[in-house]
């Protein structure tokens, strides 16, 4: 094989490998954003109960201490407890105390009755999302508060009964202006942006070309 043919062969081979790399790597970009959970309450199934989201129990929230420096969402087990009812809820985030001004709030979420069983408590997991990532100071107390924005006061939120199990030692549930030893069922977390398809395609192609050049050299 003369020099020109060898160059053309290497070029076509490298091109095919780049295209193959792009094809193989592209599906990774369709997985979606990665979810990282930071804080959560954990307990025994027999210690779960529910509290009504009604005026006499407001403000209702949970104190937590993040380890991460970002917050994108909070998951709660909350739902309407009577068919044909709904209410609109959101979460407000406070630093240190529920009495301090909110530093962020989630998008509103309409809570409707869901007859589907969700053992061990019949309330579904709802995700409250912040419109933008909230910056946090790690190892600093924060409180998220359930805010009633409209509709019926016929909803419940799942919590862990502290007399049976301490589900989250670093915090406590705020209910009616008081902080108790019980904890809401909750998970906090943040998102990792997915790499773009073009980034994966370029990276794969560059690595294959680099490997070919090393073998040729």
- Residue 69 token pair: 């420096």
Burial class (CB in 10 A: 0-12, 13-18, 19+), 72: buried
Which residue from 85, 25, 81, 68 is spatially nearest to 205, judged by alpha carbons?
25
The answer to whether 162 touches 50, Cβ cutoff 8 Å, is no
SS3 of residue 28 by DSSP: helix
Structural domains of the chain sorted by starting position, each given as residue range(s) with its CATH number in brackets = 3-30+195-216 (no CATH), 34-192 (2.60.120)
pLDDT tens-place string over residues 99-124: 999 999 999 999 888 777 666 566 88
According to DSSP, the β-strands at 102-105 and 173-175 are: unpaired
pLDDT of residue 191: 96
Residue 50 has pLDDT above 50, yes or no: yes
Residue 144 has pLDDT above 50, yes or no: yes
Q: What is the DSSP letter of 83?
A: T
In percent, how much of the chain has pLDDT > 70?
71
pLDDT tens-place string over residues 158-190: 999 887 788 999 999 999 878 888 999 999 999
Task: Report, in this order, helix, strand and coil percent for the chain, each rounded to 5.
Answer: 25, 40, 35
Average pLDDT, integer, range 137-147: 97
Average pLDDT, integer, range 122-146: 95
3-state SS, 95-148, equals ECCCCCCEEEECCCEEEEECCCCCCCCCCCEEEEEEEEEEECCCCCCEEEEEEE
pTM of the complete model: 0.74
Residue 134 has pLDDT above 60, yes or no: yes
Which residue from 63, 57, 75 is spatially nearest to 155, judged by alpha carbons?
57
State whether the Cα torsion 118-121-122-127 is positive or negative: negative
Give the position of tokens 């999302």.
129
pLDDT of residue 207: 61
């Amino acid at each position: 094989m003369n020099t020109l043919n060898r160059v053309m062969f290497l070029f076509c081979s490298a091109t095919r490998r780049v295209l193959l790399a792009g094809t193989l790597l592209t599906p990774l970009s369709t997985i979606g954003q990665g979810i990282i959970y930071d804080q959560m309450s954990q307990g025994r199934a027999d210690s779960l109960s529910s509290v009504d989201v009604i005026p006499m129990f407001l403000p209702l929230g949970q104190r937590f201490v993040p380890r991460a420096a970002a917050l994108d969402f909070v998951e709660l087990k909350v739902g309407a407890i009577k068919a044909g009812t709904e209410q609109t809820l959101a979460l407000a985030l406070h630093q240190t105390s529920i009495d301090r001004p909110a530093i962020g709030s989630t998008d509103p979420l309409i809570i409707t009755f869901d007859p589907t069983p969700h053992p061990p408590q019949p309330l579904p997991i709802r995700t409250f999302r912040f419109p933008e990532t909230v910056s946090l100071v790690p190892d600093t107390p924060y409180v998220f508060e359930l805010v009633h924005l409209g509709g019926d006061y016929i909803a419940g939120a799942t919590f862990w009964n502290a007399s049976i199990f301490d589900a989250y030692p670093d915090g406590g549930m705020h209910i009616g202006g008081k902080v108790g030893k019980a904890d809401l069922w909750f998970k906090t977390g943040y998102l990792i942006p997915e790499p773009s398809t073009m980034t994966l395609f370029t990276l794969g192609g560059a690595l294959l070309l680099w490997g070919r050049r090393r073998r040729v050299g």
